[in-house]
Structure 1
Amino acid sequence: MTANPPDVTGFDPDSSDAQPEGSLEAQIARIEAEVRELQFPGFSLDDALNLGLLLVELGKERSLPIAIDIAKGEQVLFHVALPGATPDNGHWIRAKQRTALRYEVPSLLVGLRGRLGGGRIEDNAWFDQSRYAAHGGAFPIHVTGVGVVASVAVSGLPQLQDHELVVEALRDILGSALDE
């Protein structure tokens, strides 16, 4: 993974404060590197279950008020709401997953790329906010030589934290898959 230069801190899409120059571009580059890194040799129903259970374990250990969903198209492979999650988290999960699947990149990356011109993707009339959400937390599952086969999403935390939790779990599951 490519690290940010020492003088550039991460871009926070939830902050209304001025962001350090270059932080948006550095954050985009970091997530693009994650997409290249997190390519699976295959993704089975057992992999979906293991990924979901790992996210539950991490959420429970950290007392996170999250909902977790793994889906293959319209088929739900795994779904759970931990204590503190709300019904709204289900809406956010579906909207973030639609975004990740439509663009075949993490939902956070879609939102960050939309800010490159100084605005937000949501400011475009063609971006249907009732169906899509360009907020962090959904990551498409890429299988090498196949493409996107599923998506995983977390909702309930600030969007950067949702994204980071998903990436942490994907790295762990991918590491296990490569060790086999």
Structure 2
Amino acid sequence: MTDDAEAVLHRVKAEEAELVLPRFDVADAWALGSRMREAAFTAGLPIVIGISLGEARVFHAALAGSSANNDVWLERKSRVVRRYGRSSFGVGQGFRAAGRDFDTSSRLDPGEYAAHGGAFPITIAGVGVVGVVAVSGLPQADDHAFVVEHLRAWLASVA
């Protein structure tokens, strides 16, 4: 593992441990998603935003410049979170840091699963992972950072 890969993996694991919410429901999904959409709109980001609780999509927004292809990526990344209980970036980074390729080493259909940044677990303290917040449309590290930034602000507002 290179020093850079180790540092990124360490940072992502710390984010996953930090971003544990006291609660999260459909109303929270709408409020968080709306904040994310407003920030993305203001910045002119060509992204799709999706929030799910369990298997139900409870928020979805597509901004100018995004496409149906972003929806496919959103779902592939979200499947990784649901399967591993970790961020899609963290899962992918773990495979890369170990010198392995997710698409071949995971033995999962790469048409259904993408361990690329942008999907993050919604974890409730004392409960576990209950959903996923995800974006698609930027480079993977930027997708991941956008979600982390907004989850961190959300956590600060409800803590």
The question of a shared fold, defined as TM-score above 0.5 by the shorter chain, is answered with yes
The answer to whether the 8 A contact 1:47-1:173 is kept is: no
Out of 1, 4, 9, the residue aligned to residue 28 of structure 1 is 9
Out of 127, 138, 142, the residue aligned to residue 157 of structure 1 is 138
Quote the Cα distance in structure 1 between the aligned partners of 2:141 and 2:156: 22
Instruction: Give the TM-score normalised by structure 2.
Output: 0.96
CA deviation string 1:117-144 (max 9, x = no partner)? 3231112261210111000000010000
Aligned partner of 1:63 in structure 2 is 44
2:87 maps to 1:112: no
Task: Report % sequence identity.
Answer: 44
Instruction: Give the TM-score normalised by structure 1.
Output: 0.85
Structure 1 range deviating more: 129-138 or 116-125: 116-125
The answer to whether the 8 A contact 2:2-2:97 is kept is: no
**Runs of 5+ consecutive residues of structure 2 not aligned to the other structure:** none
**Runs of 5+ consecutive residues of structure 1 not aligned to the other structure:** 1-19
Q: Which structure is richer in relative contact order (CA contacts within 8 A, separation 6 or more)?
A: 2
Instruction: Give 1 or 2 for the bigger CA radius of gyration.
Output: 1
Aligned partner of 1:135 in structure 2 is 116
CA deviation string 1:31-85 (max 9, x = no partner)? 1000111000110112101110111011011100000000112211100100000
Cα RMSD for the two superposed structures: 1.3
Out of 57, 76, 80, the residue aligned to residue 95 of structure 1 is 76
Structure 1 range deviating more: 128-137 or 110-119: 110-119
User: Does the C-alpha gap of structure 1 residues 49 and 110 become closer, same or farther in structure 2, counting only changes over 3 Å?
Assistant: same
Aligned partner of 1:121 in structure 2 is 102
Count of aligned positions: 159
Aligned partner of 1:74 in structure 2 is 55
Larger helix proportion, structure 1 or 2?
2
Quote the Cα distance in structure 2 between the aligned partners of 1:134 and 1:125: 10
The answer to whether the 8 A contact 1:50-1:173 is kept is: no
